[in-house]
Structure 1
């Protein structure tokens, strides 16, 4: 019976995996199809996945598009996502360290106030944030994309859970050895939370890589635009060039897949440990 249940679980997991991967496979296959073939096969057929006529023209038209500089969009997104991720890890880890290991007045009340911000939908803050960026003169600049994204309430909560598990005896021993509070934070607390830091970094990078609405609002100059907004420019009043859209989406997916493949062990470990500790 145990063997049968194990086989049944494997079959169910395989089916779920196929359902999850099928849209990605179709997207990649569509990126190599000519436009005329894209919607020709709509039934369960081998050519639904494997193109009849393979072509690189879609990628060429996306990369070397004079009207929509796609490589520039990738660079903009890579720069903003990398800077935001680095700042989130630095700022939020310091805040989490303070909430987990430093005693100060009203700490519980302040932390509860931070947590209450998680119930506020992001759409509610769009207009106030836009007005703030306008008053600061940051519209149409990278500062409008980076600064509002530096703080992650969820990131502070998750890292606090990890930091709280670091024994206070280790910090006391470091203090007795003459280590300052910043040195204790860097040398003892941070190394203990590497899986959580990588998990938060991946989530932050992915969130900024897929960001669409906020860049659409605060960035007007085309050469400064982000990749998801750039992909949407392949749609116009005349129609949507789905071949270019699929090719652009395939190109934008590659960096995320490579990043996840290299760091998936830490990501899974961080998610698992945060679930146990939370």
Structure 2
């Protein structure tokens, strides 16, 4: 049994290892270009700038060629839309697989779940060809529609819906509720931690999306945040201060979102739906 004091020391050490790179990134965004790599040894100035400046933040928001505010708006639009639609469609699919009996269910479910072992890069080319045939290239539709359905999301929610007591659903049926009514009034409220956790994972995945937007979006006015940040680096010049400033800005919403919803995230890990 590890003493409580040692547990606190271990947790503090793990937290420090996790936080220090984020601190260096945030402090580096406040340094002038010539100072950014001047201090590389483990000392005070490695994390605290000698000369403080907001020039990096001014540059990423003011320049008209790469308006970071526009990229944040695009990413927020796509991430929120994908998260909302993903929770809706994937939860309905998971509820159907977990609680409804229908023909060929025992065949369809394993085939559907087998897609978990297929890397996304394998399906990227056929997905792009389909998107191109539909005329969706260079549109928000190309970013949203292919990302809505997720096998992992369905698999995760099946575990939670499967734990809902069958008697609770039968009581709803006796009261005259439809299956959709049971899904919306019983299953979803009973799985709030799982839904919030899945929402966080989905939102984060879209917020950090890089490869797919790089492939399907050529219009700079519709580009996503991570692709835009990558353009600060090129063969001639790399604006590391602006990259750190942009990374800091795009990290803030995720950190705030996690801090607000972390209790639901933890709850979904330590439990798996309702215990009968």
Q: Which range moved further: 69-78 or 231-240?
A: 231-240
**Residues 131-165 of structure 1: per-residue CA shift (max 9 Å, x gap):** 11111111000111001001111111111111111
Tell me which of 96, 103, 115 is aligned to 2:113. 115
Q: Secondary structure at the match of 2:3?
A: helix
Task: Assess, with a 3 A threshold, how the Cα gap between structure 1 residues 255 and 248 changes in structure 2: closer, same or farther.
Answer: same
- Tell whether the 8 Å contact from 2:153 to 2:198 is kept in structure 1 after alignment: yes
2:154 counterpart of 1:156? yes
Q: 1:213 aligned to 2:192?
A: no
1:207 deviates by 0.2
Residues 101-250 of structure 1 correspond to what in structure 2 (within 5 A)? 101-250=99-248
Offset from partner CA, 1:191-217 (integer Å, 9 cap, x none): 000000000000000000000000000
TM-superposed deviation, 1:271: 2.3
Q: Which structure 1 residue ranges, 5 or more long, are not aligned?
A: none
Aligned residues: 275
The separation in 2 between residues aligned to 1:275 and 1:163, in whole angstroms, is: 7
Does 1:52 pair with 2:66? no
CA-atom RMSD, angstroms? Answer: 1.4
* Deviation (angstroms), 1:276: 11
Distance 1:114 1:257 in 2: 33
Does structure 2 conserve the Cα–Cα contact (< 8 Å) formed by 1:26 and 1:48? yes
1:33, 1:275 → 2: CA distance? 47
- Equivalent position of 1:94 in the other structure: 92
Match of 1:6 in 2: 4
When normalised by structure 2's length, the TM-score is: 0.97
Whether the aligned pair in 1 keeps the contact of 2:61 and 2:67 (CA below 8 Å) is: yes
Q: TM-score, normalised by structure 1?
A: 0.96
Q: Tell me if structure 1 keeps the 8 A contact 2:160–2:194.
A: yes
Distance of 1:182 and 1:276 partners within structure 2: 19
Output one character per residue of 1:26-66: Cα deviation in whole Å (capped at 9) or x when no partner: 00000000011100000011000011111111101011111
| Post-superposition CA distance 1:48-87 (Å, at most 9, x none) | 0011111111101011111101100000000000000001
SS of aligned partner of 2:38: coil
- Residue 264 of structure 1 corresponds to which residue in structure 2? 262
Structure 1 pair 248/45, CA: closer, same or farther in 2 (3 Å)? same
1:237 Cα offset (Å): 2.4
Structure 2 gaps, min length 5: none
Partner of 2:250: 252
**Aligned counterpart, 2:64:** 66
1:219-275 CA deviation, whole Å, 9 max, x = no partner? 000010000001011112212100000000000001111111110110111122249
1-structure distance, mates of 2:272, 2:163: 11
Contact preservation (8 Å) 2:232, 2:242? yes
Q: Which moved more, 1:238-247 or 1:164-173?
A: 164-173
Q: 1:158 touches 1:274 (CA, 8 Å); kept in 2?
A: no
Q: Distance in 2 between matches of 1:199 and 1:105?
A: 31
Q: Any conservation in 1 of the 2:163–2:273 contact (CA below 8 Å)?
A: no
